[in-house]
Chains A and B, each alone.
Chain A
Amino acid sequence: MSDTEADEGGNRKVKRFMIVNRKAPYGTIYALEALEVVLIGAAFDQDMTLVFADDGVYQLKKGQQTKGIGQKNFSPSYRALGDYDIEKLYVERESLQARGLAPEDLLVPVRVLGSAELSVLMDEQDVVLSF
């Protein structure tokens, strides 16, 4: 966040960040790293929006069991996002449907949007980070 500008009062400008999650929760480090970025952004009072698309929708799937792969199940962390005032969670409708999932299968309340609507939302951001 080195390019965050300060106004005359020394207050840092709030930027609109969109974090796009496209990968399954395990097998790569992307999902966990994206979550870290989200929490750090929130700690700096930035405006955070999360999008889950493609296999990224699995990150929010209820009932994750990670014992067999010897990794920490970090999915309960998504339920703490509300404590960080992160409430803009979007899931791409096409990705959800293609995987036979419905909003009830997810750990947290989300808004389901089509890819056309999401691209409009994406245009409104200052920063888009894809994981």
Chain B
Amino acid sequence: MTAAVALKDKEVAVDEEGYLINLADWNEDVARTMAADDNIALTSNHWEVINFLREYYAEYQVAPAIRVLTKAIGKKLGPEKGNSKYLYELFPYGPAKQACRYAGLPKPTGCI
């Protein structure tokens, strides 16, 4: 069984937890569609985290665990954003897990 996210003009394959099978399938529409399926409209605050994750993955080839994400966001965007309260408000299903999915990355290692 393969699941898929339906975009306007095509479908992209995802695994049973909703993560992209082929990371190259990602574009902003994929993120917007995944979020809309969760009843979330992405704001610039969401994009800040999604873009950060994509840059982190491009650099290190690893999807950061929540603790690492929180610390790294704090370093880059300031302490008012580098805390789990702020990140959980943006991504209530778990910032690393949910934001990585929207960003087209694999599920972070060490995430349960």
Contact = CB atoms under 8 A, between A and B. Distances in A.
Nearest to B96: A43
A83 B64 contact: yes
Given A44-B110, A83-B71, A83-B72, A39 B65 contact: yes
B60 A40 contact: no
A76 B56 CA distance: 11
Count chain A CB atoms within 10 A of each CB in B67, B71, B72 and give the residue with the most: B67
Interface in A54-89: 72-77, 79-80, 83-84
Contacts, number: 42
B110 A43 contact: yes
B59 A42 contact: no
Contacts of A79: 59-60
Nearest to A72: B61
Contact of A74 (B56, B61, B68): B61
Contacts of A124: none
Nearest to B69: A83
A126 interface: no
A80 B60 contact: yes
Given A40-B109, A43-B111, A84-B65, 10 more contacts: A74-B61, A74-B62, A76-B61, A76-B62, A77-B60, A79-B59, A80-B56, A80-B68, A83-B64, A84-B68
Interface of B: 56, 59-62, 64-65, 67-68, 71-72, 109-111
The 5 closest A-B pairs by CB, nearest first: A43-B110, A80-B60, A39-B109, A77-B62, A40-B110
